[in-house]
Amino acid sequence: MVAAFEVEHTTSIYSGIVRMLDLALSGDPDSVPDLYLVAPDDRENDVRAQLTRPAFGPVANLRLRYLPYSQLAEHRGAIGRFGSGLRRLNEIMRRLG
């Protein structure tokens, strides 16, 4: 399984979503990877607000998930030891779109 991660720390959430959409829409629609937006916990509301913009309508059709830093920090050891594939990550992700 293929996945793409966009980590937003200092850049705008808007630009990160644009980069993910560019990636998702640039190839074969059947081969779009799972998309993960990793960002600080306090930016989740901004992520969700940006996704309500009409320009980001296509996001609803994608497998986009949000991973807050706190979840990554809390589970990184277990993911590294026991994770293979994306199953463990998907268990702690928050679905978007």
Domain ranges of the chain: 3-96
Pairwise CA distance, residues 37 & 17, whole Å: 8
Tokens 């996704």, residue located: 51
Q: Answer yes or no: are the C-beta atoms of 66 and 93 closer than 8 Å.
A: yes
Question: Which one has a higher pLDDT value, 16 or 91?
Answer: 16
Q: What is the pLDDT of residue 84?
A: 64
Question: Which one has a higher pLDDT value, 1 or 34?
Answer: 34
Confidence class for position 1, pLDDT limits 50, 70, 90: low
Q: What is the mean pLDDT of residues 19-26?
A: 87
Strand order in the sheet with 34-39: 3-7, 34-39, 64-68, 94-96
Pairwise CA distance, residues 88 & 72, whole Å: 11
φ/ψ region of 3 (left if φ > 0, alpha if ψ in -120 to 50, else beta) reads: beta
